[in-house]
Chains A and B, each alone.
Chain A
Amino acid sequence: MDNNALLNMRGIYKSFPGVKALQDVAFTLRKGEIHALMGENGAGKSTLIKVLTGVYTKDEGDITLDGKEVSIHSPEDAQHAGISTVYQEITLCPNLSVAENMYIGRSDNIIQNWKAMNEGADKMLKSLDIPAKPAQQLGSCSIAVQQMVAIARAVDMDCKVLILDEPTSSLDDNEVQKLFKLMRDLKSRGVGIIFVTHFLDQVYEVCDRITVLRDGKLVGEFEIKDLPRVQLVSKMLGKELDDLSDIKSESGAAAVDMSSVPVLEAEGLSSTEGIKPFDFNIRKGEVNGFTGLLGSGRSECVRAIFGADRVVSGTVKKNGKTVKISKPIDAMKNGIGYLPEDRKIDGIIGDLSVRENIILALQVMKGFFKPFTKAEANAFADEYIKALSIKTASADTPIKSLSGGNQQKCILARWLLTHPDYLILDEPTRGIDVGTKVDIQKLVLKLASEGMSITFISSETDEMLRTCSRLIVMRDRRVVGELKGDDLTQNKIMSTIAGGEGQ
């Protein structure tokens, strides 16, 4: 065991009904290091953090801090033990002053010594070189400074372990650098920092060690210099680099006439969600996909195409004609369908029936004053319930009472019913059972062979390789490559995702 260890977590188990979120996970943090905690969605990063900060209670395992065993049952326990967390969303109070935010909830006295508080805050801010005044209202500072104030608060509480959960996702490059400077500063004071992020570049810039989790299990702890990017990506995705038992399109992807006019062509498209302008095209009967790690901007790209986010630049051509897509209805009228990534928030209308959910998009396209008759709506619903074998008691059942896979099929039915030329499927198979997954993949290939153009996004590379004939690779909100033909292999995808020295 490392003598320098500050925090030691061993044999951590945690399960939720039906899910083993953490299995025998170990994590060690040393004094004065910045340690990245990496893993794809569902890997167990946030569960581990929540166990450490007392939001969840672990089922099994020991946590030692400074060599002493600690028991953490609540966020307060964690704070007293010297573990502080700064979350992605600011959890401070924007309408209080900076100093108030740093001292709020920490004093046992009824009477607050305002002068001492402001002086203390001023000292701390100055020593950390944070550009904020104690009396300034927190809301008037930039997000980056607000985050730094949150960190200052943590440091002022003598925290030994500082957890930064995706702190950089809403910062620009300049602000990120300021944050990194602060992090290095704290590191030199002996604070141990756990850094959770999706940005590979940032990990390699600032971290000393990396711990990778996958599917609730520990993959390993690595020195940053021993772990090239490509290997990190392969460890996160769980694919061995040499594993060349590759899956070439089982259906033998339908021959796409690449000389034809693209069904959809976009140039320099970008939206308010921070993706760098990108070009995109898709031809009749083609299946392509966006790939990249979570947060790389793949969903934002398709949302920009569909007009789901506000588009700020770029032109879109549909079958060679320039069209203006500024909101979803424009895209729908141009024959584009979009199955969103988050089924619960963007997909289903929970309390409405399966029937209403299926006919919704077509109904909206048909118009406000032309509702379908009951018989028509029933016919549509029954047709697709049968075609996609949606398991529901009846078409009248509220969609929220269906299983995830069947809800997804309803949303798929909704868009198939509109008979789009171009269908975007963002994570259509997430969180659904294997059988349904295969059904959906088969359906995608069948639709493409019938002439529909499809963009397919999935976190599972296997699935993408099986369905797509062309992959657009994204990293840090930028398109970094395009793969097709013989380049469509796990290795090539991972090295392109990783970029940097791996290429």
Chain B
Amino acid sequence: MINKIVKNQIFIPIAAMLFLLLFNLVTDPTFFKIAMGQNSAGNPVLSGPLITILNNGSELAILAIGMTLVTAASGGQDISVGAAIAIAGSTILRVLCGTNTRPDTLRTPIFVAFIIGCLVAMAFGAFNGVLVSIFKIQPMVATLILYTAGRSIAAWINNNELPIISDPRFGYYGGFIPGIPIPTPFFIAALCVVIIALVLKFTNLGLYTQAVGINESSSRLNGINPVFIKWLTFVILGACVAVAALIKVSRLSSINYSVIAKDIEMDAILAVALGGNALGGGKFNMAASIIGAFVIQTLTTTLFMHNVPSDALPAYKAIVVIALVVFSAPVFRDAVSKFMKNLKNGKKKEVANV
């Protein structure tokens, strides 16, 4: 029974989450405090570390959805999502502001701006997808191009100016909707999770991506078009990027080209890995990835709570990641199970000797 639970893929991120929560419970119980307060606009809002995790973990969870699919089908990762968020965010602001960087009223409805941002992000996703699926470039190398160029493109979209949006409605997406004390990004993430759950249930996306990731040649002989499936996953990741970008620019009602969503690709990849998914592609578990995203955010928040300076954060994260990767490596697991077996047999022998 216990063996079965431990073997389940989703056990890894849940165990990591429980471990982090337990750690916080022991060292600093204020971690679990949730307070009802008011934000600057006078609306009721919940606050506290747990709410921060739900809030900031949302973009990561959304990206983890797309990253999981890309990983499964192509056996590699897209490292350009941070730069692509800058592009999509910049596009959204550009469409909302037009040429005036300090508009009093929005030029276009937010919805339209989002759709255009989404199309742009998907186009860049499609670009990455073509490099990977048709030209068979390694995903990390292929996306390195956009990783390098993306933030310049983002700046260029707005002529290197920093548009600021004063309309409070735009802030709802990354903040709070008046009257609802739970941060909006959480709802957006939840919606994305529901959508991907429905897509996985009502289409063969899951089966196809896994089949292509495990055995491309065999998939082709069963009538699947591996090139298209790989490309498709990059386009889907593009859509996820656009949603994350909307939240990111909404939080600031502006953009900082060089800082926005910096290093988020690493966290998204970590979320996939933490979910116990093989980074070499193949089988995946979407729920595990999404939980993995919140584990990463919990880790970040925990480190902040313990006054780890933000510069030192990556070093701490790295230690945790090394531990996780080693624990989940098949070599290590085999060794442990062998050790356990020997232990058991040893005990039995002792009993026999007695």
Contact = CB atoms under 8 A, between A and B. Distances in A.
Interface of A: 306, 308, 327-329, 332, 338, 340, 345-352, 356, 360-361, 363-365, 367-369, 371, 414
Contacts of B283: 351-352
Given A328-B223, A368-B208, A348 B218 contact: yes
Contacts of A328: 220-223
Contact of A371 (B203, B214, B217, B221): B203
| Top 9 A-B residue pairs of the complex, sorted by shortest distance between their CB atoms | A329-B223, A364-B223, A349-B215, A349-B214, A361-B222, A332-B223, A351-B214, A351-B283, A371-B204
B203 to A, nearest CB: 5
The B interface is mostly helix, strand or loop, or mixed, namely helix
Interface string B204-222: 1101101100110111111
B75 interface: no
B205 to A, nearest CB: 8
Nearest to B278: A351
A299 to B, nearest CB: 12
A349 B219 contact: yes
A329 B219 CA distance: 11
Counting chain A CB atoms within 10 Å of each CB, which of B203, B215, B220 scores highest? B215
30 contacts: A327-B220, A328-B220, A328-B223, A338-B221, A345-B217, A346-B221, A347-B221, A348-B218, A349-B210, A349-B211, A349-B214, A349-B219, A350-B214, A351-B214, A351-B283, A352-B210, A352-B214, A356-B211, A360-B207, A360-B222, A361-B222, A364-B222, A365-B223, A368-B204, A368-B205, A368-B208, A369-B202, A369-B204, A371-B203, A371-B207
Contacts of A345: 215, 217-218
Nearest to B281: A351
B21 interface: no
Contacts of A308: 220-221
A232 B205 CA distance: 52
A440 to B, nearest CB: 19
Contacts of A367: 204
Contact of B211 (A329, A360, A371): A360
A153 B203 CA distance: 56
A352 B217 contact: no
A352 B211 CA distance: 8
A359 to B, nearest CB: 9
Nearest to B208: A368
Contacts of B214: 349-352
A349 to B, nearest CB: 5
B57 interface: no
A331 to B, nearest CB: 8
A338 B283 CA distance: 25
Interface of B: 201-205, 207-208, 210-211, 214-215, 217-225, 282-283
Given A329-B225, A352-B211, A371-B207, 18 more contacts: A308-B220, A328-B220, A328-B223, A347-B218, A348-B218, A349-B210, A350-B215, A351-B210, A352-B210, A356-B211, A360-B222, A363-B207, A364-B204, A364-B224, A369-B204, A371-B201, A371-B202, A414-B222
B203 A369 contact: yes
A346 B215 CA distance: 8
Contacts of B217: 345-346
A40 B157 CA distance: 65
A43 to B, nearest CB: 27
Contact of A349 (B201, B203, B218): B218
Counting chain A CB atoms within 10 Å of each CB, which of B215, B223, B283 scores highest? B223
A365 B201 CA distance: 18
B215 A368 contact: no
B204 A363 contact: yes
Contacts of A368: 203-205, 208
B224 to A, nearest CB: 6
A329 B229 CA distance: 14
A368 B205 CA distance: 7
A61 to B, nearest CB: 36
Contacts of A371: 201-204, 207
Contacts of A356: 207, 211
A381 B221 CA distance: 20
A344 to B, nearest CB: 9
Contacts of A369: 202-204
Contacts of A365: 223
B38 to A, nearest CB: 47
A132 to B, nearest CB: 29
A351 B204 contact: no
B118 to A, nearest CB: 21
Nearest to A415: B222
Contact of A340 (B204, B211, B221): B221
A432 to B, nearest CB: 18
Counting chain B CB atoms within 10 Å of each CB, which of A328, A332, A365 scores highest? A328
B216 to A, nearest CB: 10
A340 B218 CA distance: 9
Contacts of B219: 349
A29 to B, nearest CB: 38
Contacts of B208: 368
A361 B223 contact: yes
A492 B201 CA distance: 56
Contacts of B222: 328, 332, 360-361, 364, 414
Contacts of B225: 327, 329
A31 B348 CA distance: 64
Contacts of B207: 352, 356, 360, 363, 371
B331 to A, nearest CB: 18
Nearest to A353: B283
Contacts of B210: 349, 351-352
A356 B221 CA distance: 15
A443 B222 CA distance: 22
B218 A346 contact: yes
Counting chain A CB atoms within 10 Å of each CB, which of B211, B218, B219, B225 scores highest? B218
Contacts of B218: 340, 345-349
A347 B204 CA distance: 19
Nearest to A338: B221
Contacts of B203: 368-369, 371
A328 B283 CA distance: 24
A348 B215 contact: yes
Contacts of A363: 204, 207
B275 to A, nearest CB: 16
B282 A351 contact: yes
A496 B308 CA distance: 80
A350 B219 CA distance: 11
A347 B220 CA distance: 10
A308 B203 CA distance: 25
A363 B210 CA distance: 14
A363 B222 CA distance: 9
Contacts of A361: 222-223
A306 B207 CA distance: 23
Contacts of A338: 221
A345 B204 CA distance: 22
A306 B221 CA distance: 9
Contacts of A329: 223-225
A329 B201 CA distance: 23
A17 B287 CA distance: 41
Contacts of B201: 371
Nearest to A369: B203
